[in-house]
Chain A
Amino acid sequence: MLELPAHDQRYLEAVETLPRPQLLALQQERLMRMLAYAYERSPFVRRHWDSAGLRPSDVKTTDEFTRLAPLMDKDQMRAWRDANDDPFCGLLCTDVAEISFMGSSSGTTGDPTLFSYRWGRDDGNLPAAPGLPADGPSSYWGGTLRDWWEIGLRPGEHAVYFGLRMRGPMFRLLQTLGLTPIMLGYGPDDLLQFIDLSRRYRPTVFYAMTAYLGVGLQELERTMGIDMRDVFASYKGVLFAGEPVGPKMRRTFERWGLAGKIFNQTSFGDLGHAHDCREHDGCHAWEDIGVAEIIDPVTAVPILGDGRGELVCTSLVNPIDPLIRYRGGDIVDMKRGICECGRTHARFTPVGRSADEAVIGGRSILPMDVWGAIEDVPETSGGLFQIVRPQRELDRLKIRVGYAGTPELRALEAQVADSVEAAVGLRPVIELVPNEAIMQSGSRHKIPRTVKR
């Protein structure tokens, strides 16, 4: 049962500010238990560790774990799945009947992979079952509750919920915190309803904002003269999920009175979610829920301390399908010092995905490097673009860019190329398409930022 603190308390749970030595001791204790559990029950983990000549009993500390344990990735999971006709990729540690809900990845790099949840009560009103440690968070969703409480969400408030289902019923977490979700979707007039309902109920959070919806709101402001400052007057937070907010769109939301209230929800290495707090200095990686490491994306050598690297995560609480030293391809800047918010857990800022990196003449380019330059051109200010990346090494940078309205295309092409060249020092080839063509190329909450052709 989750008990909520007094409204003026910043933290949901005491573990958020646990002194770091105690936190790391707790993490190590949970890690050792998880390794034994996963090795015993997960065919993938057992085979993977056996292949590396390692057993859980060979690992006594978190430090030994990060030095000795083999990394795993999605390609290996898919290979297991195909070789063994096992939709759970060999990760399932329970009987299938113990699963309640099977979500799945977006499938942008292949057949979607599963992540599964178990419910806490048979009436469906407790969204998460107990995790592996009896004294731990109720599940890997426990971190999301902490993050949303810190943003300032409180019982009795309303929340706008533009939710898709594949990551689980996130609206149940809002209800767990005592908020009433307002269910909206991607219908053609839902944004108009959002405006009306925001004025009527004065919600405090928008979950989840995307480039797709942001472009739609900008268009409503432009064509209907809607006062977005009034619409968002009650909001404590607008949460971007799926991909981070671009620099220009961030400025637009700030102009709408949301400076300091724009939050990023990102994947905590597929263990769950991570969010930035009100200090906006990175997304909190809850170290009592997972182990967060960074490695060199090419050599896979662990990077100690702070710095940039590929995020590697290990679940400590998931009893269903735990990931052990999973590298998901997210490149992050990691910080392990105490956050200004007072929490002691590590935090990271996503900077891109290794699978999205293009190398042109030895120069590394990630989508975030060109994002602002594209948004700076008025006709392409929606920031809807894709780097055409048939392989990592390219002769030239080619970008497909979405535009609004009916501009003169040749002039616009040159304008966008100038802007990108000024930002990254490379002259790109620009292919212009209507915004809709980009928006229809992927899931509505997440535009594929690189495409093969």
Chain B
Amino acid sequence: MMTKTTTEPRAPGDIGTRWAIGLLRLPSGYQPYPVSLRDIDRDTEWARTVFARLGIVTGRPMHLIGTGCDYEILWPYENALIGMKVPFGVAEPVAIDAPRSDMFLRRFRLQAVMGLSGEIVDALVAMKRDLRELLGHSTLIALPDAATTLRAAGLAPWTQLPIGPIFAFESPARDGALYDQREWLVEEADGELLLTSVAPRACPFVRLRTGVRGRVVQGAIHCA
């Protein structure tokens, strides 16, 4: 006898209210936090605006690098791409997974590569890859530890800045990173970025110390 349906997760008391338990890895220690489907839906909306700003278009493959253990942060970006009908290949941002990224980069003409980490870029260099040849035709979105190397190679990446449970994105013009201000407020105290949730998220944060050094100018984040 069929008694319960779980594919409509907004039902009261159902999985929508506890979509996942994530784990923040902060300099001050680890902090588990719940995420609701409402949070995921809102973060997916934000991710769509990010991809629109990046110029991502339907039907052309891209590469999305990120860790499975951060899926509560990463999933909205995957969700947005699914909705936009953008095929994406996946890999983890660690050196040991670089051959997987290398395969996607060599075998596809990717419209974008997001989540490039320092470990991946260093591994590609160690594999004697020409970064300009491999990445030059794609829109690049790189973590801070990779952005410097990419710039040194003559590339102009966007910066994907992790701030606790969110990402902020800064254009190649380096005019400050933007974040989802409908859900969050980023402030600065003593040179450290603090994060506060301003919407009814499953786990409210109040001036969360993120350990990220930077300052906020007219709503945009400038990292140290």
**Interface of A toward B, CB cutoff 8 Å:** 1-7, 9, 81, 87, 95-104, 107, 111-112, 114, 116, 119, 122-126, 155, 158, 161-166, 169, 171, 175-187, 189-190, 193, 197, 200-201, 440, 442-444
Smallest Cβ-Cβ distance to B95: which chain A residue: A440
13 extra interface residue pairs, beta carbon distance < 8 Å, beyond A111-B99, A180-B18: A87-B108, A101-B88, A101-B90, A103-B89, A104-B89, A111-B107, A163-B71, A166-B97, A177-B6, A183-B20, A185-B23, A185-B68, A442-B96
Query: In the complex, which residues of chain B have a beta carbon less than 8 angstroms from the beta carbon of A98?
Result: 85
Indicate whether B162 reaches chain A with its CB closer than 8 angstroms: no
> Chain B contacts of A2 at CB under 8 A?
5-7
A-B contact pairs, 29 of them (CB 8 A): A1-B7, A4-B2, A4-B4, A6-B1, A7-B3, A100-B81, A101-B78, A101-B88, A123-B41, A123-B79, A124-B78, A155-B6, A163-B71, A166-B91, A166-B92, A169-B78, A175-B6, A175-B19, A176-B7, A178-B4, A178-B6, A180-B15, A181-B21, A182-B32, A183-B21, A185-B23, A185-B69, A197-B32, A201-B21
Structural contact, B75 and A3, CB atoms closer than 8 A: no
- Contact mask for chain B residues 147-182; partner A; CB cutoff 8 A; 1 contact, 0 none: 000000000000000000000000000000000000
Chain A's closest residue to B85 (CB) is A97
Give, as a whole number of angstroms, the nearest-CB distance from B34 to chain A: 8
Interface residues of B in 67-82 (CB under 8 A from A): 67-72, 75, 78-82
Measuring CB to CB, which residues of chain B are less than 8 angstroms from any residue of chain A? Answer: 1-7, 9, 14-15, 18-23, 25, 30, 32, 37, 41, 44, 58-59, 61, 66-72, 75, 78-83, 85, 87-92, 96-97, 99-100, 103-104, 107-108
**B9 CB to closest chain A CB, in angstroms?**
7
Do A182 and B21 touch (CB < 8 A)?
A: yes
Q: Are B2 and A180 in contact (CB under 8 A)?
A: no
Name the distance in Å between B93's Cβ and chain A's nearest Cβ.
10
- Which partner residue on chain A sits nearest B18 by CB separation? A180
Q: For the complex, what is the distance from the CA of A184 to the CA of B80, rounded to whole Å?
A: 23
Q: How far is the CA of A440 from the CA of B95 in the complex (A)?
A: 10
Across the interface, B99 reaches (CB within 8 A) one of A5, A107, A119, A155, namely A107
In Å, the complex CA distance between A166 and B90 comes to: 6
Q: Is the CB of A3 within 8 A of B69?
A: no
CB of B100 within 8 A of CB of A112, answer yes
Inter-chain contact A193/B23, CB cutoff 8 Å: yes
Known: A1-B5, A126-B7, A176-B7. A183 touches B88 (CB 8 A): no
**B66 closest partner in A (C-beta):** A165
The residue that A111 contacts in the complex, of B15, B66, B85, B103, with Cβ under 8 A, is B103
Cross-chain contact A6 with B3 (CB below 8 angstroms): yes
How distant is B58 from chain A, measured CB to nearest CB, in Å?
7
A-B interface, 5 closest residue pairs, ranked by CB to CB distance from nearest:
A185-B69, A124-B79, A97-B59, A87-B107, A102-B89
Contact of A180 among B21, B25, B69, B92 (CB under 8 A): B21
Whether the Cβ atoms of A96 and B59 lie closer than 8 Å is yes
Known: A97-B87, A183-B22. A164 touches B68 (CB 8 A): yes
Identify B20's interface contact among A111, A177, A181, CB under 8 A: A181
Q: Are A440 and B96 in contact (CB under 8 A)?
A: yes
Question: Which residues on the B side are within 8 Å of A116 (C-beta)?
Answer: 87
Enumerate chain B residues within 8 angstroms of A166, measured Cβ to Cβ.
90-92, 97, 100
The secondary structure that dominates the B interface is mixed
What's the least CB distance linking A86 to chain B, in Å?
Answer: 9
Which chain B residues lie closer than 8 Å to A179 at the CB level? 15
Q: Which residues of B contact A440 (CB under 8 A)?
A: 96
Given contacts A124-B44, A176-B6, A180-B15, contact A100 B82 (CB under 8 A): yes
B19 contacts A163, C-beta separation under 8 Å:
no
Cross-chain contact A171 with B20 (CB below 8 angstroms): yes
* Cα–Cα distance between A97 and B86 once the two chains are bound (Å): 6
Contacting pair A165 B68 (CB below 8 A): yes
Closest to A177 in B: B6
Q: How many A-B residue pairs have CB under 8 A?
A: 180
Give the chain B neighbours of A190 by CB distance below 8 A.
23, 69
In the bound complex, what is the Cα–Cα distance between A190 and B15 (angstroms)?
Answer: 24
Report chain B residues within 8 Å CB of A155: 4, 6, 14-15
By the criterion CB–CB under 8 Å, are B19 and A180 in contact?
Answer: yes
Q: Are B37 and A183 in contact (CB under 8 A)?
A: no
Residues in A with CB closer than 8 Å to B67 are: 165, 185
Chain A hits for B58, CB < 8 A: 97
Identify B5's interface contact among A3, A102, A122, A200, CB under 8 A. A3
Q: Chain B residues with Cβ under 8 A from A193's Cβ? A: 23, 30, 32
Contact check, B14 vs A178: say whether CB atoms are below 8 A apart.
yes
* Chain B residues with CB under 8 A of A107: 99-100, 103
In the complex, the answer to whether B70 meets A183 with C-beta atoms within 8 Å is: yes
- In the assembled complex, which residues on chain A have CB atoms less than 8 Å from the CB atom of B19? 175, 180
Q: How far does the alpha carbon of A98 sit from the alpha carbon of B41 in the complex, in Å?
A: 22
Asked if residues B21 and A112 are in contact (CB atoms below 8 Å), the reply is: no
Closest to B96 in A: A443
Compute how far the CA of A175 lies from the CA of B72 in the bound complex, rounded to whole angstroms.
13
**A431 to B48 Cα, complex, angstroms:** 53
Q: CB-CB < 8 A to B72: which residues of A? A: 183
In the complex, what residues of B have CB within 8 A of residue A186's CB?
A: 69
Output the least CB separation between B224 and chain A (Å).
Answer: 24
Residue in B closest to A160 when the chains form the complex, CB atoms: B21
CA of A427 to CA of B181 in the docked complex: distance in angstroms?
A: 67
**Cβ contact within 8 Å between A189 and B83:** no
The distance in angstroms between the C-alpha atoms of A116 and B92, with both chains bound, is 17
B97 touches A443 (CB 8 A): yes
**Cα of A197 to Cα of B15 in the assembled complex, Å:** 18
Q: Flag if B87 contacts A3 (CB, 8 Å).
A: no
A104 touches B100 (CB 8 A): yes
B18: A residues at CB distance < 8 A: 180
Cα distance A440–B18 when bound, in Å? 35
B88: chain A residues at CB < 8 Å are: 100-102
Smallest CB separation, A194 vs chain B (Å): 10
Closest to B31 in A: A193
How far apart are the CA atoms of A197 and B88 in the complex, in Å? Answer: 32
Q: For residue B25, which residue of chain A has the nearest CB?
A: A187
* Distance to closest chain A CB from B95 (angstroms): 9
CA distance A171 to B68 in the complex (A): 9
